[in-house]
Structure 1
Amino acid sequence: MAQSLRLMFSSGVALGLGVAALPAMAQEQPEQPAMQRVEVTGSSIKRIAAEGALPVTTVTAEAIRASGVTSMADLVQRMSTVQGSTGESASVGGQTFGFSGISIHNVGETRTLVLLNGKRLAQFGGQTLTGFAAGFDLNSIPLSAIDRVELLTDGASALYGADAIAGVVNFITKRDRTDADITVGYSHPKDGARERRFSLTKGFGSLDEDGWNVMLTFGHDERTKLTSGSRSFANTGERTFSANGKQYRIQQFSASPIPANVLNDRGELISPALRTSGSCPTKTFRVTQPYTIDGENFVDDYCGYDFVKDLEIFPERKRDSLMLSGTTKAFGQELYADVLLSQTKQSSRIAPVPGQVSIDAGTALHNQYLVPLGITGDTVAFYRLFDLGQRTSNDIAQFASAVFGSRGSFAGWDYDASYNFSKSKVRGDISGYPGALAVSNLTSSGLLDPFVGPGQQSAAAQQAISATAYNGYWDGGVSELNSVALTGSRSLMQLAGGAMMLGVGVNFNREEFSSKPSLFAQGALADPVAGTLCGGAAGLECDQRFGDAASSLPYTAKRNSKGVFAELVMPVIKNLELGAAARYDHYSDFGSALTGKASFKWSPTTNFLVRGSVGNGFHAPTVPQVNAALQSFGVTSENYTCSPELQQVAAANGALCRPGSAQYDQLAGGNQTLKPEKSRQATLGFRYEPFRALSLGADIWTVAIRDTFGQLSEQVVFANPLQFPNSWGSQVDIATGRNYLAFKADNQNLGKSYATGIDWDITGRYRTPWGALTSQLNISQMLREKGQLEQNGEYFSAIANFAELGTVTFRNRGTWRNTLKTGNFSTTLSANFKSGYRDQETLVDVLDAGGNVTGQEEVRYKVKSFATFDLQTVWTPNATWSVTAGVLNLADKEPPFVPSTSGANRGQQFGYDDRYYDARGRTAYINASYRF
């Protein structure tokens, strides 16, 4: 019983997924052999795992196999303590290169440290200069190689250094096995996103009997695309909904359709096709926007393009991974090596490219289409080059890691010495994009007609359009980490409660990041298709990508760091253990930091434990956040109309407002005065088992961070443009020569943030006439969260509130899992739930009973709570075969309607929020494993 209690207390029972191995006390166990000392996540000291005092969640390989998840990204998304992580669907319209991260308690992906077998890994090679994706890409970890996942929901910067403010996730791979495992699987959602997978694991040699062991794991999986048209909740940008006793309409669109919209002589955006035919063309709908400038009334009346119809809301993907681990005994020590190679290929497609072209007065196009509408001067057409086909991003993310080391005992010390190299390389290819000058030349020559519909260009024009298409490398990056580390632990002296333990360590790291935009992305080509450089003796004009001002700059930046730490564990009396840790880090580019942690564990009885910790943390900015030059950085997430204040800001910058409702270009860059984030965090929890069939526990945690990294919110700046004079710049549109206002989203230390919550779990067991029933409930509850968007500014909260912070923190998130074991079958019914929230204030049309627009209102829609049910059965007829079959989202529950469209790390999907809800719907799956 005492041993079982220690096991329960160390693992936190079955937190997160609710699928970890049950505490040993729930079962009749034969006498156990003596437990070996191991290193547990959250401590540098080798000790019996059951003695740990920090909240560590353990998810085993068997539990992962039974859960039905097919990737590490899916696994962490199901953990109740994980919120705010980026998923693969964010690549739809966003340059994420397929990145999937993990954020504990929504404190941040960049503040959550990911380890592989306790070793650091290189950050994602596709990270941006603002810090997005500056974490580890979970797609690089092969699910089939994992023995267990340990998740520490307590800041551990004193042991691990920067990035561990929110917590630590340690993926531990299989070792010292001689059996083989072949697994095949298939997942079947409706109409797309179907997966096939295969994995092989084989061990050779026994470490105890042969003195060596080699483990080899290979995994391959493929997924098909899922189009927006396959889901009724995601298939259009024009939606009606009810709220507040009224009927509303919201339109998500682009002002660049086919045929084109134009500006009239008053600067109003109109549709020639609408004016001449009385209706909007296919894939568009009518948009009417009245506004006032300097007391004069204007009306934009045009056709908005429904780009939502063209999206693939779940990307096509292929992944391959190879994990090789070797261990041998030599001179009484263990020499080991771990090598991981992985590659993820992903393709995502969105609507054909939009952009602007100039239409000069007196040209054939002007005379034919615009003069009859009363347009007499030069103007600009807002056009979509539909005949070029969908824009496609083909991304390849490669990861390589090699660790070589020695561990064992020497002179009374348990030690681990290692060298670690890891590298993340990302390449993004594009197709369906032309150069802006190439399109402008086609229009001015009269060959391209932007006022005809899809497929109505002349044969010569179609051939010329196809010749402008750029297909090839666009952008990418490489991130490398070289690290040398030495840790050791030993017993110092006997105290009343046991041996005092000391752990020490030292590490040396070298980080390097290189941004590698193509010459096209740099704006350094006169002819992107031919690869002709601009400038030179001929003075050729530089072209850029049609539709956006792309002029990324290549750069390489390096950083050296070193750290030293010490940890003490002191069992001062029989039932009370105290711990302390301290760490010193020095960075070559911005200085030093000292962090520390104190902890305790008190066990007044054999079935009750209280534990807690307090410490401070430190998070260094990424190399790009410090060193990148100011450059183009995409566009704003929302459309904005030109208010009088925005017009004033544009004039002050010698620029123009964008016509109609439009996205604005963004600028961003590094900041060499950026200070590191500093944190204070604490936890307090208990574990209690009143009797054999019931165990429960809770941990309350809090994190306070100052000098947080970030950018001023575009929503805040556009709402008060005159208050932020340093947040503006300008960008010249190459196709039209017009200098438009641009939003500057540069890196800053924004202020402070605070977060507090409770992680609950309860496990009950009951033996029924049909078998053993286990019920596990895990809930992560947020009590407080608030943050500033500027130094000394107002505090905002994201708890049940999608507004200023650009994200949502669910007040309650959890899983209720019920498993019945009967003979060779284990059947589980799970409920996964998230509480509701208030959506961002959104301007919508008000409809009367006949569906006619009567006005507009700002509405804050209440998004409903959301729950899905999963059913799965594991059949194990013998020690050789295992078959898992099940259905995820059993009732085929659709994501709740969400009218807003903006938000950090969000794709172009509309009608639901792809960050929080899965569009795949009901998914049947089967996995079969053969062991020999």
Structure 2
Amino acid sequence: MLAAQETLAQQTSLERVEITGSAIRRVDAETALPVVVIQRADIERSGATSVVDLMQRLPAIQGSTGESASVGGETFGFSGISVHDLGESRTLVLLNGHRMAIFGGQTLTGFAAGFDLNALPIAAIERVEVLTDGASALYGSDAVAGVVNFITKRGTTEGQVSVGYSSPKGGAKETRFSVTKGIGDLDKDGWNILGSYAHDERTLLRSTSRDYASTGRVFFSANGKNYRFQQYSASPIPANVVDDNGNLVNPYLITNGNCPEKTFRVIDGSDDFCGFDFVGELEIFPIRKRDAGFLSFTMNLGAHQAYADLLMSQSKQTSRIAPVPGSIAIPTTSPLFSQYLAPIGITQDTVAFYRLYDLGKRTSSDKADFMDFVAGIKGTVFKNWDYDAFYTHSQSKAASNVSGYPGALAISNLRKSGLLNPFVLAGQQTPAANAAIAAVNYNGYWNGGKSTLDTLNLRGSTELAKLPAGPLALAAGVNYNREKFQSAPSLFAQGLLADPVAGTLCDPNATSGPTQCDQRFGDAAATVPYSADRKNWGVFAELQIPIIKDLEVTLSARHDNYSDFGNTDNGKAAFRWKLSPQALIRGSVGTGFHAPTVPQVAAAPQPFGVTSDKYTCSAGLAAVAAANGAECRPGSQQYDVVAGGNPLLKPETSRQATIGFRVEPASWLSAGADFWWVAVKDVFGTLPEQSVFLDPTAYPGSWTSALDVGTGKRYVAFNAGNLNLGKSYSSGIDFDISSRTKTPFGGLDMKFNATYMLREVAQQVINGPYYSAIGDYGDNVGGVTFRVQGRASAALKTGAFTNTLAMNFKSGYKDATTTVEVLDAAGNVTGTEDVRIDVPWHYTFDWQTQWEMNKTFTFTIGALNLFNRKPPFAVSTGGVNRGQQFGYDDRYYDSRGRTWYVNATARF
């Protein structure tokens, strides 16, 4: 027995099973491809309370979007999975071997264009098979990085009820409940129905509950010096304004000599203003509620078996960030000008950058509904053909409701009416002003989308002949897919309302007056709705050839036809050579492809939020602003982003290879390693904002302009359209060691898994230089790839008790270059300096004790991050798919800290 896959063969006796990555059913489950199998016992011992948490514990998983990304990002609560940091859209997720609809909240740039793991209830999962090699020759598009196949419980009459509670300090507490029951014995009755339901809820976690995440003003030491860095927004309360010299100043600071609460003083060149500490307002882990139900039906029909599965789930997530910032025009004719600005020497019309604090926090309430239905029949025909014919319908629908967002014109009108005063402290607006502010708060549906997938599939396998070295086996199949996507922005998101709260339609041609179109204050939006569909069909064949005894070669090929970009052919060759009962080597070479999503091709150009980082107006930025008939934003601020689909976008194509071995030098020890290599051509993407802002004139096509409807100012904007950027190359080694032995204290089961990244480079433009993110959060990559990730665990079973201790680890990296303030011994600022700090290795330990009281009851208690290790300090602020958290990187580290949990299970 050489690997976890052979456990499947043991469990099913001599039943033929189909392993992820091959369509040929076989008894010997150790295939030519590297497949990691996570059994139900492994899931329970991991302490994971959701599929999202379970997948993030795997060493081969990097670059996945987590739930915390919704803090300041329009993610609709999406959580995905990425194998080897190759991307969620290149990792194919299956349920019981069939495709599912990708997320309905996917964006037009390809973000969240994968499967949302929140849709799957962990209580219904029997095992997970993770293929860490490309499989486009079998599955088609999206399988460039690998395949993750979730296999549900079925065919059992057992019942199980589980309850659980998790309790980190300060928030993010979870309660959960699940029940599963089957009726009907397949062998005796000829049929079985199994149902499962799961519910879980989580409370919020505020940034102020974690000292390392509670403020944007941090002090640290590096390189023998003391530094300070201030992460802020240039829109505070009371407001900053632009003076006659174009500098950003704060009237409250000038009058009182200090900045008010929730702000700190910022001196940046000639700018001297108050920065708002929005970090202290964040809820760094969102509120969540999930419900999922799974129903399966199986009936024996002689040599055939009919089946149908239905999965329905709903995930609700609520995230809150600081009250909305925005710009307000202050003309010289305004009484506010005479009272606050003229006394400090301002003589011209100006703009106030203001935080509408009295409106309350911005809230996004996201809901994702998922449904997947499959019906089919499988069995044996013509004596030795195993076949499976099935139809699937799958859909994902995402919707976001918001509050705390007024219209920009509504706020401008409040200023003109004399009710709103942006120059007083929080809580000092008049009662009439507070009532007026509350009256313009938009509280309702904002945006969403729906993705559907319908498929027809027929596949089969057989042994063609008995050769001296073994059976010659063939698998073949055909499929037809229809994919649809419909974006569904609200009228407010489309910029088609004159009064967002009342729902009054506007006149798009009006430039003033009560029918002028309003847009969201501080975050302009004129989203263009669109819909599109795609059809494709494919045919594949796979041939398993025994060359000599214990050496077999597998050849596979696939042809696909897409309605929107034509034909593609891909192939794969793999070998498996069992050198002895204790040793095996295996390898593969193949090609793959990844089709662009429907939105990446068909979406119309439109506003797409703001940059992830703040930028000052360099000479180059001023030049491109002037070329676009616009101007820079004063001070250091975020800039508007515009994006759209690209009908000329070509599919990504890939080449990949693996070579590996497995050895079992003793009956109690098994080990293996697999080298993998992936090359991708015509990589989808948008130019990294950091690169474009670093050298604005080098990217003339990356700029446009956006009008601020509240002030009438036209500012330069970043044009982040979809492009084929060039090539990427990735390679690494996946290791695993496992052992089972008896000790005087009981049976000891130990496992070690790790991934070592050898290479990861990518171009940002065709024929351009290559950049690497391995251990290096460079200025041009927007993130980091960890050189090493791993997990080691030891489980000791003593009688009715099983005690498990696990260590999770990941290597350190160089943080992004950041300009910080240098402090002298007295704490005074002496200048600025660009620094890159070293983020150290990070280790956490998990502990669990499971008590099998009897055949009916099991009680589990444990702690994740047992020693309460804090995320390592990082001073970088930008990055791809990052939330607004600061002081650590929420994409890579969990802010929940030590989490005690308890689970109780009853079987019946």
TM (normalized to structure 1)?
A: 0.96
CA distance 1:33–1:844, shift in 2 (3 Å): closer
Identity of aligned residues (%): 60
1:188 aligns with 2:167: yes
Give the alignment partner of residue 885 of structure 2, picking from 905, 909, 915. 909
Query: What secondary structure sits across from 2:542 in the alignment?
Result: strand
Counterpart selection for 1:529 from 494, 501, 504 = 501
Q: Deviations over 1:834-864 (max 9, x none)?
A: 0000011111111111111111011111101
Q: Secondary structure at the match of 1:47?
A: coil
Residue 14 of structure 1 aligns with which residue? none
User: What is the match of residue 146 of structure 1?
Assistant: 125
Structure 1 residues 736 and 169, CA gap change in structure 2 (3 angstroms): same
Which residue identity is paired with 2:52? Answer: A
What is the aligned partner in structure 1 of residue 41 from structure 2?
A: 62
For the 8 Å contact 2:456–2:481, the answer to whether it is kept is: yes
Cα distance in 2 for partners of 1:497, 1:392 equals: 65
Secondary structure (helix, strand or coil) at the match of 1:685 reads: strand
- The residue number in structure 2 matching 1:220 is 199
Partner of 1:338: 309
**Kept in 2: contact 1:505–1:565 (CA 8 A):** yes
Shift of 1:330: 2.1
In 1: Cα distance, 2:13 partner to 2:548 partner: 23
Q: Are residue 257 (structure 1) and residue 236 (structure 2) matched?
A: yes
The counterpart of 1:926, out of the listed 893, 902, 905, is 902
Distance 1:495 1:843 in 2: 69
Measured in 1, the distance between the counterparts of 2:466 and 2:860 equals: 50
The offset of 1:63, in angstroms, is: 1.5
Tell me how far apart the structure 2 counterparts of residues 131 and 766 of structure 1 sit (CA, whole Å): 47
Q: How many residues align?
A: 903
Provide runs of 4+ in structure 1 moved above 4 Å: 21-24, 536-539
What is aligned with 1:551? 526
Work out the CA distance in 1 between the residues paired with 2:859 and 2:605: 54
Secondary structure at the counterpart of residue 868 of structure 1: strand
Per-residue deviation, 1:9: 6.5
Q: Provide the residue aligned with 2:78 in structure 1.
A: 99
Per the alignment, residue 131 of structure 1 pairs with: 110
Equivalent residue for 1:442, pick from 401, 414, 433: 414
Q: Does 2:348 match 1:377?
A: yes
* CA–CA distance in structure 2, aligned partners of residues 875 and 630 of structure 1: 58
**Post-superposition offset of 1:33:** 7.9
Q: Which secondary structure does the structure 2 equivalent of 1:48 belong to?
A: coil
Match of 1:178 among 132, 157, 163: 157
Instruction: Specify the alignment match of 1:168 in structure 2.
Output: 147
* Aligned mate of 1:574, from 526, 530, 549: 549
* Counterpart code for 1:418: F
Alignment match of 1:403 (pick from 358, 367, 374): 374
Q: Which residue of 1 aligns with 2:803?
A: 827
Partner Cα distance (2:620, 2:508) in 1: 42
The aligned counterpart of 1:742 is 717
Q: 2:782 aligns with which of 799, 803, 806?
A: 806
AA at the equivalent of 1:598: A
Q: Following TM superposition, by how much is the alpha carbon of 1:210 offset from its aligned partner in structure 2, in angstroms?
A: 0.6
Q: Comparing 714-723 with 48-57, which one deviates more in the overlay?
A: 48-57
Deviations 1:458-483 (A, max 9, x none): 11111100000000000000000000
> Aligned letter for 1:796?
Y
- Aligned pair 1:204/2:183, yes or no? yes
Shift of 1:51: 4.3
1:665-680 → structure 2 map (5 Å cutoff):
665-680=640-655
**For residue 335 of structure 2, what is the aligned residue in structure 1?**
364
Residue aligning to 1:583? 558
1:413 to 385, 400, 417: 385
C-alpha contact 1:495 1:570 (8 A) present in aligned 2: no
Q: Distance in 2 between matches of 1:878 and 1:35?
A: 31
- For 1:233-248, list aligned pairs within 5 A: 233-248=212-227
Distance 1:83 1:668, change over 3 A: same
- Per-residue displacement from partner, 1:587-644 (whole Å, max 9, x unpaired)? 0001110000000000111110000010000000000000001100000011000011
Deviation for aligned residue 1:537: 10
- Tell me the amino acid that sits aligned with residue 712 of structure 1: L
Structure 2 equivalent of residue 355 of structure 1:
326
Partner SS state of residue 212, structure 2:
coil
Displacement of 1:39 in angstroms is 1.1
Q: 1:305 aligns to what? A: 276
Deviation at 1:34, TM superposition (A): 4.0
**CA offsets 1:379-434 (integer angstroms, 9 cap, x no match):** 00000000000000000000001001000001131000000000000110000110
1:607 to 579, 582, 600: 582
3-state SS, counterpart of residue 676 of structure 2: strand
**Residues 877-886 or 651-660, more deviating:** 877-886
| 8 Å contact kept, 2:863–2:898 | yes
The match for 1:294 is none
- Identify which of 800, 806, 825 aligns with 1:849: 825
Residue type of the partner of 2:640?
D
Q: Secondary structure at the match of 1:826?
A: strand
The CA deviation at 1:54 is 1.1
- Are the counterparts in 2 of residues 495 and 572 from structure 1 also a CA contact under 8 Å? no
Contact 2:5 2:37 in 1 (8 A): no
SS in 2 for 1:50: coil
Match of 2:298 among 327, 331, 337: 327
* Contact 2:685 2:723 survives alignment (8 Å): yes
Letter of the 2:134 partner, please give it. Answer: G
> 1:9 touches 1:687 (CA, 8 Å); kept in 2?
no
Deviation at 1:767, TM superposition (A): 2.3
Distance 1:112 1:699 in 2: 18
2:365 is matched with 394
What SS is found at the alignment partner of 1:209?
Answer: coil
SS in 1 for 2:213: coil
Tell me, yes or no, if the aligned pair for 1:753 and 1:786 is still in contact at 8 Å: yes
Tell me the CA shift for residue 444 of structure 1. 1.4
Cα distance between partner residues in 2 of 1:180 and 1:123: 31
Q: Give the CA deviation at 1:758.
A: 0.2
The one of 6, 19, 23 equivalent to 1:40 is: 19
Alignment check: 8 A CA contact 2:105 2:450 kept: yes
Conserved 8 A contact 1:10-1:55: no
Alignment counterpart, residue 469 of structure 2, candidates 497, 503, 516 = 497
Query: How do residues 699-714 of structure 1 correspond to structure 2 at under 5 angstroms?
Result: 699-714=674-689
| In 2: Cα distance, 1:237 partner to 1:836 partner | 23
Contact 1:66 1:884 in 2 (8 A): no
* Cα distance, 1:751 vs structure 2: 0.2
- Amino acid in the other structure paired with 1:225: L
**One-letter amino acid of the counterpart of residue 187, structure 2:** D
Letter in 1 for 2:381: F
The CA deviation at 1:446 is 1.3
Cα distance in 2 between the residues matched to 1:446 and 1:365? 8
Asked if structure 1 preserves the Cα contact closer than 8 Å seen for 2:241 and 2:352, the reply is yes
- Contact 1:116/1:170 (<8 A) preserved: yes
Q: How much has 1:23 moved relative to structure 2?
A: 11
Query: Hey, what's the Cα distance between the residues in 1 that align with 2:849 and 2:658?
Result: 37
In structure 2, what is the Cα distance between the partners aligned to 1:208 and 1:241? 67
Asked whether 1:159 is paired with 2:138, we answer yes
**Which residue among 468, 482, 485 is the counterpart of 2:440?**
468
Matched, 1:314 2:291: no
Work out whether residues 640 and 661 of structure 1, in 8 Å CA contact, stay in contact via their aligned partners in 2. Answer: yes
Q: TM-score, normalization: structure 2? A: 0.98
User: Deviations 1:773-818 (Å, cap 9, x if unpaired)?
Assistant: 2221111000111000111101000100112221211000001101
Larger displacement relative to structure 2 (59-68 or 715-724): 59-68
In 2: Cα distance, 1:575 partner to 1:415 partner: 26
CA distance in 2, matches of 1:495, 1:165: 33
Once residues 35 and 878 of structure 1 are traced to their aligned partners in structure 2, the CA distance between those partners, rounded to angstroms, is: 31
Residue 60 of structure 1 deviates from its aligned partner by: 1.1
Matched, 1:593 2:588: no
User: CA separation of 1:223/1:822 partners in 2, compared to 1, >3 Å: closer, same or farther?
Assistant: same
Letter in 2 for 1:446: G
Shift of 1:331: 4.5
SS at match of 2:424: coil
CA drift of 1:49 comes to: 4.7
Q: Find the residue that maps to 1:849 and give its secondary structure.
A: coil
Give the aligned CA root-mean-square deviation in angstroms.
Answer: 1.2
Q: Does 1:480 align with 2:459?
A: no
Amino acid at match of 2:5: S
Corresponding residue of 2:858: 882
